[in-house]
Amino acid sequence: MRTFSVICALGLVILGSSWAAGQTARGNPDAGQAVYEKQCLRCHGSKLDGKGPDSQDLIVRPANLQSQASRTKTDWELLVTISNGVLFSPMHGFRGKLTDQQMLDVLSYIRSVVPSETVS
Ligand code: HEC
């Protein structure tokens, strides 16, 4: 019983402090829009459809964030991609370039334009 409560307490601490819990609630979509326009728009486009001005020149086309495939991903999956990037693609990781808060902000901006279709 004791072990159980320790595990519960630990779980709460981890959940409370990690991105995995209610992350979008803590992002600011307005701040995120500014980040998006500066860092992401040239590839992902003003409509988040992957048709930004630079997208034509890329061998791997930027993800269409409006697509079913992106909408059904969890916030966590998208955050990991924003943070780590996609291997062998022009989508490099933004960890170190953006703060954690900015990544949360940009995620909540994306979700404010294209609502999630997951129950995450
Ligand atoms: C140099 C062009 C480029 C820039 C700049 C860029 N991306 Fe990407 N992005 C891509 C490409 C290419 C992919 C991968 C497409 C694939 O996997 O086929 C991608 C994938 C993604 C995905 C994954 C979508 C999914 O459904 O898995 C997310 C989320 C994303 N980008 C968000 C962002 C955000 C947020 C920014 C700005 C902070 C950004 N990207 C900047 C090119 C870019």
Q: Tokens 């697509």 label which residue?
A: 67
Q: Which atom of ligand 1 approaches the CA of 94 most closely? A: 38
98 falls within a domain: yes
Nearest to 24 by CA among 118, 98, 108: 108
Q: Which atom of ligand 1 approaches the CA of 61 most closely? A: 12
For residues 120 and 117, give the distance between their C-alpha atoms in angstroms, rounded to a whole number.
Answer: 9
CA of 15 to the centre of ligand 1 (A): 26
The torsion angles phi and psi of 53, rounded to 5 degrees, stand at -55, -30
Indicate whether residue 106 lines ligand 1 (CB < 6 A).
Answer: yes
**CATH code assigned at 105:** 1.10.760.10
Measured CA to CA in angstroms, residue 88 lies from 6, 52, 92 at distances of 42, 19, 9
Indicate whether residue 60 lines ligand 1 (CB < 6 A).
Answer: yes
pLDDT tens digit sequence for 1-59: 565 555 445 444 444 444 444 444 589 999 999 999 999 999 999 999 999 999 999 99
pLDDT tens digit sequence for 74-117: 999 999 999 999 999 999 999 999 999 999 999 999 999 999 99
120 falls within a domain: no
Range(s) of the domain holding residue 90: 2-113
| Domain count of the fold of the chain | 1
Instruction: Quote the pTM value.
Output: 0.83
CA of 64 to the centre of ligand 1 (A): 8
CA of 12 to the centre of ligand 1 (A): 31
Measured CA to CA in angstroms, residue 69 lies from 1, 28, 106 at distances of 42, 24, 18
CA of 18 to the centre of ligand 1 (A): 22
